[in-house]
Amino acid sequence: MPALIRRPFVFLRHGQSTRNLERRIGGQHDVALTPQGEEEARRARALLGDIDWSLVAASPLQRAYRTAELALGRAPDRVVDGLMERHWGELEGQAIPETIPYMSTPAGGESWEAFVERIADTLNALLEEADTPLIVGHSGLVRAVRWLTHGTPAGPRSANAVPLWIAPEGTEKWTIRALTPADLRQPARP
């Protein structure tokens, strides 16, 4: 199993998308934000907009890219294909099932292992490059990070446009929780 470099980052899931509103799997379908999603992204600006980010990287899917623009008042520094949501194959566009089959490979889709490896490789490259970057993407990223740091994708679904602090704790643990202004006053790595 790949491992994440033990450095903190901030994650922002996109605002409500048309697929979220319909309770359907968005996957790599490039769907827009709803008016509510745009407003959620604008509200995130209160916490994120005045920070001099070392790097802002966003998924190329418009729901994430547009969230970054609205939350920051500017375009992200970089669009990164590796931050795209998992490809759910034939499940994309279908109603979200009561139990989501994270560990199964959907017909025509991306396996869990390939998805987690893609997310780990992408995050590690960004963490090597920048101190505490802002990553704007999709809920699957948090599931992959939970798998990498806690051994399970289980946990609460990340809320739309609510910044998360994802950081190592001690020598082995990780924290994933709502971002606070104090988190960003942490000393930079040497």
Distance CA 168, CA 165 (A): 10
CB-CB contact of 108 with 34 (8 Å): no
Q: Which two tokens stand for residue 163?
A: 């910044």
The residues assigned a catalytic role are 14, 85
Q: Indicate the SS3 state at residue 175.
A: strand
Helix or strand holding residue 125 (H, E) = helix 112-129
Q: Measured between alpha carbons, how far is 68 from 61 in angstroms, rounded to an integer?
A: 11
